[in-house]
A and B are shown apart, each in its own frame.
Chain A
Amino acid sequence: MGGQGIERREMLRVMALAAAASGFPGLHRWTFACGHLGSGAAAARPAAYTPQFFTPAEYATLERLTDMIIPSDGTPGAQEAGVAEFIDFMVWSDPGIQYDFRYGLVWLDSRADTLHGRPFRELTPDRQMDLLGHLAYKARFRPGEEDGQAFFRLAREYTVMGFYTTRIGMEQLDAPGLRFYTESPSCPHHGDPEHRHLPAPQV
């Protein structure tokens, strides 16, 4: 790989650009997890997050959903990145999606209640996986669950937004934007312009 990586954070220090702290006070876990400029890892983990838009029950379901969509499975997932907090903030900020989120969570609980007599968050993990699986995979679609399907798409979209815009999420991708380059990076695969003979994928 051409170009020497410089830690983006170092570059920022050099340029004396103080990063603007988010004016929003709610993203405690996110701030902790991402190690904001200069704050280091020593910051104590703050007390439990109080959602601004969702009720505590809704928020518990939302947290579970984000954890199912991007799990902690040996590498950090939505929980560690504070994705539910981000979604709470975005929904709180966006009247255009408030109904869809609230309706979707109600739909999920009522579907869980019909099938198993309990709200979604109180189902066993297996039953949660099964219910969500019907919404998430076309081959498993059950007629009448269109609204649930739409809510899954929405929840996944916002989970992706919330996860891959944290340092944790970008590190998962080994995102090149975390570094600077001192020269224009150049393809290292000389003699294989069509890239037909690359090493087997590691991921």
Chain B
Amino acid sequence: MADQAYDVIVIGTGAGGGMTIKTLCEAGLKVCAVNAGRRLNPLKDFRNHRMPWDLKYRGFGDPRTRAQSYGYMDNEYTQGVWEHGITYTTAPGSEWMWPRCYAVVGKTNFWGRSSARFGDIDFRAASRDGNDVDWPVTYNEIAPYYSRVERMIGVASTVQHRPSNPDGEYLPPMNFRCLDYILKSGCDKAGVPYLPDRIAQLTAPLNGHPPCHFCGECTTGCDTGSFFSSPYFFLPLAEKTGNFELRTNAVVRQVLVDEEGPARGVAYVDRESGQEREVYGKAVVVAASCVASAGIMLNSKSRHWPTGIANSSGQLGRNLCDHLYGGSARGYLPQLVGQPSFPDNVSDSTIAWMPRWQNLSDPHQEKFIRGYSVYPDGGCRDFPSINGRMEGFGSDFKRAVKRYYPAPVDFTVQAPSLRSDTNYVDLDPEAQDGYGNAAVRIHFQWDPNTLAMWEHSKEVCREVLKAAGGEYLGASDQPEMPG
């Protein structure tokens, strides 16, 4: 199909693509976005206000398909919005649980919303501890952009003067719950910071967006657009300019190039008709997520780019990094046992954080380099937590469930992996993605430094919980699967 030429083709419409589209359209450029999935209807596709009994399997999901779920976000409340059609593979010895939202605006539909600033402790980490290389930007260079984005999307938090994360421009924070004050008392004793989290969630109206209504179901989508997500914040602004065209259900096969090598367009498969199509532009922006962008570029082979577009360095797809998440400790607070229920779950685990406290003044203070953060949570959720102390059945059991309902707490670590030559993505020579492209193949294992953070976090969180007067019930056996 012959096609008009656009100024810019953008592959992907999420956090990166959405911002690019909005910015370019407002600057007067004609932009065409190519997106692998459909456009969601928030009123239909976001089931965040359904109660468990409104769902066929009460939120536990269809048992026959539960094993195919890509983790906790891919559940009955978000059925039909996560990608299951485009396949990827993992190399022997690698695991990769990859929840992909290829619907328009991608994972901004359901993201975790934590929006802290990085500081020079990260950008200049290599200079501090001698490992690897520094980022090519400094904090001072990037700080004005942080401010611009914070004003645009709205981030709730407080000024905290932490060396790990510079302060920004914030909306009022979420208030602390009972469990936060109790856990903070434990942190104070253990020398660990316990502060309001930094979240792109509106505690006040912003730029025409209504504030949060505290339903606590953010990871199943927000139908009022009260946390930053591209469908509410970016795409309407792009559409208003008249410069924007969106092509949905378009799985990119490759970036097309001219004889000299520069990109001139994109070839894609229309998922509904199965037809191959092309769209042309003066420039192409690949914003399809970390791994998928690498896959598209590796698949974009030509005479000029025999190993994939812009891969003359051989670094395309290399140095895959991830955050390790895991349950560092869980238990309950005896102080809250038997107390009235309290609306603890009003912001989906983003009330408080324990920002990095390791290796701050001395980069080699711990047995690992760099540092991690911890996200505490707990209290009354929709479903009660049943622990090993609730033996038996009958009225005593029923009462125990109610008594313990406000009391559970847990800690989730977020530990960055180190760059490694053995963690990368390439193309699987033997598997296809279902749309005629070579499937992306992932090679990834946690490095010893990241695993040392995981072990460290388990010790500290146990200590914090005990110092808060809590009962420790254990930690997860394993961190969550990477991906």
Contacts and interface: CB of A to CB of B under 8 A. Distances in A.
Contact of B49 (A1, A12, A75, A175): A12
Contact of B338 (A34, A90, A137, A202): A202
A94 B50 CA distance: 23
Contacts of B339: 198, 201
B63 interface: yes
Given A68-B394, A201-B339, A194 B469 contact: yes
Contact of B335 (A15, A93, A196): A196
Interface in B292-318: none
Given A179-B343, A186-B175, A193-B181, A203 B402 contact: yes
A22 interface: yes
A195 interface: yes
A93 B57 contact: yes
B359 interface: no
Nearest to B174: A184
Nearest to A91: B63
Main SS at interface, chain A: loop
A69 B337 contact: no
Nearest to B67: A96
Interface string A53-78: 00000000000000011110101010
A174 B392 contact: no
A153 to B, nearest CB: 11
A68 B335 contact: no
A151 interface: no
B398 A70 contact: yes
Contacts of A73: 394-395, 398
B342 to A, nearest CB: 7
Contacts of A52: none
B197 to A, nearest CB: 12
B63 A94 contact: yes
B343 A176 contact: yes
Main SS at interface, chain B: loop
Interface string A124-165: 000001001100111000000000000010001000111011
Contacts of B391: 136-138
Contacts of B343: 1, 3, 176, 179, 181, 185
Contacts, number: 193
A69 B393 contact: yes
B98 interface: no
Interface string A17-33: 10110111000001000
Nearest to B182: A195
B58 A194 contact: no
Interface residues of B, number: 67
Most buried by A among B62, B216, B335, B399: B335
Contact of A94 (B64, B338, B397): B64
Given A2-B175, A187-B175, A173 B403 contact: no
Interface string A109-132: 000000000000000000001001
Given A15-B49, A93-B62, A185 B382 contact: no
A28 to B, nearest CB: 13
A30 B55 CA distance: 12
B49 A11 contact: yes
A196 B186 CA distance: 13
B54 interface: yes
B182 A193 contact: yes
B46 to A, nearest CB: 9
B213 A19 contact: no
B353 to A, nearest CB: 16
Contact of A185 (B51, B213, B214, B337): B214
A14 to B, nearest CB: 10
Interface stretch (B18-26, B344-352, B427-435): B344-352
Contacts of B402: 172-173, 203
A195 B336 contact: yes
Contacts of B49: 8, 11-12, 15, 17
A127 to B, nearest CB: 15
Nearest to B381: A177
Contacts of B401: 160, 164, 173
A34 B53 CA distance: 8
A193 B214 contact: no
Given A68-B394, A165-B52, A170-B382, A187 B177 contact: yes
B60 interface: yes
Contacts of A94: 63-64
A160 B384 CA distance: 9
A22 B47 CA distance: 13
B384 to A, nearest CB: 6
B342 A185 contact: yes
A175 B52 CA distance: 12
Interface of A: 1-3, 8, 11-12, 15-17, 19-20, 22-24, 30, 34, 36-37, 68-71, 73, 75, 77, 86, 90, 93-97, 129, 132-133, 136-138, 152, 156, 160-162, 164-167, 170, 172-177, 179-187, 189, 193-196, 198, 200-203
Given A136-B392, A136-B393, A195-B181, 9 more contacts: A19-B50, A19-B51, A30-B53, A73-B398, A90-B63, A156-B393, A170-B382, A176-B346, A194-B181
18 contacts: A1-B342, A3-B343, A22-B56, A24-B56, A68-B394, A70-B393, A71-B394, A129-B394, A156-B397, A164-B401, A176-B343, A179-B343, A180-B214, A185-B346, A187-B176, A194-B469, A195-B336, A203-B338
Q: Which 10 A-B pairs have the closest CB atoms?
A: A201-B338, A94-B63, A186-B175, A176-B343, A165-B52, A165-B58, A195-B335, A181-B214, A193-B181, A69-B393
